Amino acid sequence: MKKYVAEFIGTCVLTLFGCGAAAVSGGVEGELGILGIALAFGLAVVAMAFAIGDISGCHINPAVSLGVFVAGGMSVGDLIGYIISQFLGGAAGAGLLYIIEIMTESVEPSSNGLGANGFGDFSYVGINLGGALLVEIVLTFVFVLVVLAVISKAENSIIGGVVIGLTLTFVHIFGIPLTGTSVNPARSLGPALFSGVDYIAQVWVFIVGPLVGAALAAVIFKLLYSGESEE
């Protein structure tokens, strides 16, 4: 149960601070800009890695948990428990952000999507559905492959959280103008639930894409590291 509580807290923090940075600062053209928003997501992961990493491994992302599972690193029971905790944490983080925004004078939750992901009219560059799906698969593939490589060796534990946080930052730098960057179904579903039916209608892309990308990353990881495991 401690692991599940840790995953709930970690995903809540990631969603609140990452999506909050995007929503409150004015998005891509706001004060923080792409780099600032990307750093908010990356730094949230670094902080949580040191806070809850020893308890749950700090997945705080259903795609990461699926990748670990496919790579043989966790049981079905833990996978289910982690995913439920992460989705609840994402919803809680988005809910907190919504409450904070309605208490301000100049920020309207309905106008900024609470940092929700999107394509078409909800994409800064107007990427279409197929493009959004491809982007999320590719970005998640890269991110989860790095995560699996980092956690595969005990000697990486000291800097693992920093490496993973920086990787999340760099995939956000590329992905924010395209889809807002999901690579995390829980981070996507939470804000969509509070942003209206238009965002909810699109959120499946940001659940399916990251899960497919994570599964592919796990398969490739097993192929690349099979020799090392035998040695």
Q: CATH number of the domain at 99, please.
A: 1.20.1080.10
Grade residue 230 by pLDDT with cuts at 50, 70 and 90: very low
CB-based burial, 148-167: b 16+ in 10 Å, e otherwise: bbbbeeeeeeeebbbbbbbb
Q: How far, in Å, CA of 209 to CA of 189, rounded? A: 13
Alpha-carbon distance values, 218 to 73, 86, 221 (Å): 10, 20, 5
Domain of 7, in residue numbers: 2-230
Q: Whole-model pTM?
A: 0.93
Instruction: Let me know: does 118 contact 135? Beta carbons within 8 Å.
Output: no
Structure tokens at 214: 């994570």
Is the predicted pLDDT of residue 52 greater than 90, yes or no? yes
Is the predicted pLDDT of residue 229 greater than 90, yes or no? no
Number of domains in the chain: 1
Of 123, 168, 125, residue with least CA distance to 145: 168
Tell the residue number behind the tokens 């796990």, with chain if given.
Answer: 218
pLDDT of residue 111: 60
Is the predicted pLDDT of residue 42 greater than 80, yes or no? yes
pLDDT digit string, tens, across residues 93-135: 999 999 998 888 777 666 666 899 999 999 999 999 999 999 9
